[in-house]
Chains A and B, each alone.
Chain A
Amino acid sequence: MPYQLENRPPDLRESMYFPEIIRGIGTITKHFLKNLFFSRDANPDILARKRGGFGHSDNVTLQYPEERAPYAPAYRGLHRLVPREDGKPRCVACYMCATICPAQCIYIEAAEYPDDPVEKYPAKFVIDELRCIVCGFCVEACPKDAIRMDSGEHTPPSYERSAQIWDEKRLLRGPPVSYQYDPWLRRGSPSIPPDKLEEMRARAKPFPTVATDEASQTPGFSVRALAAEARDRAQAARK
C-alpha cells in the first residue's frame, strides 16, 4: 500500500526541519528497541529457544542449521513407506500412487507372500526423488495409508544422482501403524506372536476416513513436542 501523499505545501513545523528529524529519530529508536527486546512474530512455535522477558531477545533470526524451525504438520517431507508392527510394509502394491503421480517417479513391482494374510506386496518400490515434484498426490491416493510424507525432512543432498533414487529398503522406516480392520489383525499373521497380536488388536484404531492432522500424521508427532525437545537439547548443550 503506497503512502498517501497529500499535495500541499509544508506547514510551519515541517518547514522548520528539526522537529521532523527528531520525530524520525524517535520512530527509528522505537523500532530498534522493539526488535531488540520484543518479537515481531506472535507465532509461539517458530522458535525453540527461551524467549520473552527482560534480557531474552524475541528476535526471529534462526541460527540455521544449528537451530531449525519445526515445520507445520502438513509439511510434505521425504516419503516413507509405513511399516507394520512386524516390519513388513503396509503397502500392497496397488499402483494407485504410481497411477496418480504426475511426475511418474514411482516404480512398483508386485510379488506374492506365500503365508501372509495380505497376499500382495511390493517386491520393488522405487521413488526417484529428483523427479518427484512433492505434490503429495501419492499420499492422498494411497488406500492403505502405506505411503506418507510425514518425516518432516528434506530429501538429503547427495553427490550422485543414483543416491536420490530411493528403493523400498531405504523408504521403509518410521513408526509402525496398524488399524482395526487390517488383515493381519483380523486374521492373524505368522510373523506376529499371539500375545503381541492381542495387544495390537486392543490398541488398534479405526482407519481414518477424514485426514485430520492427528490421524494422518505419525502418532506422537507434534510441533510443540518437537520444539520442546529442541529446547531441552539446547539447554543440555548449554550446561
Chain B
Amino acid sequence: MAEEKKPDAAPPKPPGPPAPPPPKNPGFVTAIVDGKEVVVKPGTTVIEAAKAVGIDIPYYCYHKRLSIAANCRMCLVEMSNAPGGKLMPACQMPVAEGVTVKTDTPRVKDQQRATLEFLLLNHPVDCSICDQAGECKLQDYYMAYDRQPSRLDVPKVMKGKRVELGPTVTLDQERCILCTRCVRFMREVAENPQLGVAQRGNESFITTFPGQPLDDKYAGNVVDICPVGALTSTDFRFRGRVWFMSSARSICTGCARGCNTFLDYLNDVTYRYRPRENDAVNEEWMCDDGRTSYKYLNAGRVLVAREGRGANAQPLPRKVAPRRAAEVLLPHVAAGSLAVLLSPVASLEDLLVACKVAKEGLKVAEVYAGGRADGWQDDFLKRADENPNRKGLELAAAAYGLAVRPFADLVAAAGAGKVKALWAVGTEVPDAKAAEKLGALEVVAQSYGDTALAQHATVLLPASPHSEMDGTFVNFEGRAQRFEMAYFPKGESRPHWALAAELGAALGLPLAFASGREVFAALGPQLGAALGDFAWDSLASTGKRLGIVPLAAGTVDGRLPGNRDRVPSETTEDYRRAMSRTS
C-alpha cells in the first residue's frame, strides 16, 4: 500500500503517437490519395488536394470562398490518421504528412449512398417544375453515387413551397438540403447576415428574420451557390429550361467593374447572366442590378434602319442607310457645326472605328461622352459609373488625339447654336430630358434600342449590343476584357464598328472590316501600351458556334466534370485553326 501511495519513481510516460515522419518535400505536405502522390501546401484540405490530382470527392456544403461547415457529410473519406478509423470530412481535414486517403472504398461508397438517401428523404423530387433541373447537384450525384429508390413509406415533411425571400430570390424550403451555403455567403461575403436556419431537425428551414426581406444587393449570388433548386431566381423562374440554353463568355455591362459573366441564351434571346470566375475582378460574384441588366439586349430593340422622325419615319434599306447618313452629316463637316457623341456602353472596337471616322472623316477635334447616368456604389463590386467601357472610350479618343467632353457640354453647345448636327454612336445619355433639346439637331444615331435620343434621329441605324459581337471592354482599372458573340446580330442590326466603318467608307475613308478581330488588329496598335499585355485572342474565340453549347457550370460551382464543362478552348479544333491562322 505504502509503495503504491508513494511510488519512488514517476511512472514511465505512456507511449504517445509516433513522431510525425520527416516531410518528404520540405515546405510542402505529401500525401497519397487513391494511390496517387499529391504534394500540396500545408493547410490544404483533402478535397482540394484530391482535386489537384483529378480525383473528385462529392460535396454540397463546401465552397472554396466560404467558411467550412462540413455539414452535408457527402465528402466523407477514409484517412489513415482518422481517430478510431472513422470516416473524415474531406472538405474540413487538412492534408497531413504521409497520410493515405481513400475515396473509392466500399465503406466510402456506402456512406455516400446513405448520405444521399438521407438528403433525398424529404426532398419533394419535383424536378419537373424545378428550375435547377439540369444543373442540380442532387440530380448529378444521385445518378453518380446513389441510384436507389426511396425507402420512405410515410408522407414527406411539408414546408414552404414558394417563399419570396426578397425581390430577386424565391425559396422552396422543401428542396433545401440545409447546406447553409447561402447563410454563410450572406454573412461572410455580402456581410449582411439576412438569412438563417430556423427550427430543428427535419423541420428546419432557411428563412429571413420575420418581416425583413432578403434585399441585399448581392442576394442573387445565393441562387448560384445553392447546389439544389431551393433558391431560385425570381427573374429567371420558369422562363426556360437550362438544358436548352447555350452559354457565351461575356462581360456584365451593368457598371464599370466589368464582372465576368456567362451569358445564357436560347434562340437569339438572352435569358440570364451568371458570374464567371475571375479572381482579379469579381471572384465569382456579381450584383443583382448587373444580373438584370441583360434586358436591353432583348426588348425594345431597333432592328431596321429608319429615316425621319415621328410620323414621318420610314424604313431605310440597309445598303442605302450609311450613304444617307453621310449626306446628312457632310454639309455640317464643312461648316464645323458637327458634334460626335460616343457611348461608353459600346465596345473598344466600336469606339476605335468611331474615333477614326470622327477624326479623319468628320474632322472633329473633340468628342462628347454619353452613357448612362451614375448609380449607387459600394466597396465590393458595384461602381457608380454604370457604363462598362468609359475607360475604353477615353483610351480610344486619346489614341486619335480627340478631347473627351461631358454630355452637358454638348447640350450647352446645342443650346448656343454652335452644334447643328450630331453623330451618336450609341444613344445612351445620362439625362433623357436633355436629349429632348438635341431634337432640333440633325441627328444620325446608331442605337441598340429605341431610346429618347434615337426617336429624335434623322437617320437611325440599328446597332448590335455585346451579345451579338466579339469585342473588348476596358473596365475602370484599365483592365481590357474580351467578350464573345453569343448569337448573330438580330434583324438588320450590325455592330457599331461595322456601321461606323460603312459611314466612313461613304465619307471616302478606306475602311472595311470583316470582324472585331480585324478591327483590333488594324486599329489596336493606335492605343500603344495602354492595354498592357492584353492580347485580343486571350479569350479564344470561336465566333458563332452552331448548336447547343453546353452550359459551363464547372467554374462557378465546382459541379461534376463531364459534358457540362466546356471543353478547354485550347484543345478545340476551332482554336487550333484560329491559332494556325494567326501564327
A residues bordering B, Cβ < 8 Å? 92-96, 99, 110-112, 117-120, 143-144, 181, 183, 186-187
Contacts and interface: CB of A to CB of B under 8 A. Distances in A.
Interface string B153-165: 0010010011000
Given A94-B127, A96-B128, A187-B161, 6 more contacts: A92-B128, A94-B128, A94-B133, A95-B241, A118-B129, A143-B128
B241 A112 contact: no
Is the contact region of chain A dominated by helix, strand, or loop, or is it mixed?
loop
A110 B271 CA distance: 14
A-B pairs with lowest CB-CB distance, top 9: A94-B128, A120-B129, A110-B238, A92-B129, A95-B241, A143-B128, A92-B128, A120-B238, A119-B162
26 contacts: A92-B126, A92-B129, A93-B129, A93-B238, A94-B127, A94-B129, A94-B133, A94-B241, A95-B241, A95-B244, A96-B128, A99-B241, A99-B243, A110-B238, A110-B239, A111-B238, A112-B237, A117-B161, A118-B129, A119-B162, A119-B238, A120-B238, A181-B155, A183-B126, A186-B158, A187-B158
Contacts of B243: 99
B238 A112 contact: yes
B17 to A, nearest CB: 53
Contacts of B128: 92, 94, 96, 143-144
Among B127, B128, B244, the most chain A Cβ lie within 10 Å of the Cβ of B128
A119 B162 CA distance: 8
Contacts of A93: 129, 238
Contacts of B158: 186-187
Contacts, number: 38
A128 to B, nearest CB: 17
Interface of B: 126-129, 133, 155, 158, 161-162, 237-239, 241, 243-244
Nearest to B162: A119
A119 B161 contact: yes
Contacts of A94: 127-129, 133, 241
Nearest to A110: B238
A99 B245 CA distance: 12
A104 B268 CA distance: 18
A183 B155 CA distance: 12
Contacts of B162: 119
B127 A143 contact: yes
B173 to A, nearest CB: 13
Contacts of B133: 94
A119 B129 CA distance: 8
Contacts of B127: 94, 143
A119 B175 CA distance: 14
Contacts of B239: 110
Contacts of B126: 92, 183
A111 B239 CA distance: 8
Contacts of B238: 93, 110-112, 119-120
Contacts of A110: 238-239
B155 A186 contact: yes
Contacts of A119: 129, 161-162, 238
Contacts of A99: 241, 243-244
Contacts of A111: 238
Nearest to A115: B162
Contacts of B129: 92-94, 118-120
Which of B129, B158, B237 counts the most A-chain CB atoms under 10 A from its CB? B129
Nearest to A108: B241
Contacts of A186: 155, 158
A15 to B, nearest CB: 76
A99 B242 CA distance: 11
A49 B238 CA distance: 52
Contacts of B241: 94-95, 99
A164 to B, nearest CB: 23
A144 B126 CA distance: 10
A170 to B, nearest CB: 23
B172 to A, nearest CB: 9
Contacts of A144: 128
A134 B357 CA distance: 59
Nearest to B128: A94
B136 to A, nearest CB: 13
B298 to A, nearest CB: 15
A92 B133 CA distance: 13
A186 B126 CA distance: 14
Nearest to B170: A119
A95 B243 CA distance: 10
B192 to A, nearest CB: 28
A118 B241 CA distance: 17
Contacts of A112: 237-238
B242 to A, nearest CB: 10
Contacts of A117: 161
Nearest to A114: B162
A160 to B, nearest CB: 27
Contacts of B161: 117, 119, 187
Determine which residue in B127, B158, B238, B243 has the highest number of CB atoms from chain A within 10 A of its CB, and name it.
B238
B257 to A, nearest CB: 33
A205 to B, nearest CB: 16
A112 B158 CA distance: 20
Nearest to A180: B155
A96 B162 CA distance: 23
Contacts of A118: 129
Nearest to A96: B128
A87 B158 CA distance: 25
Residue from A111, A119, A187 having most chain B Cβ neighbours under 10 A: A119
A142 to B, nearest CB: 9
A92 B243 CA distance: 17
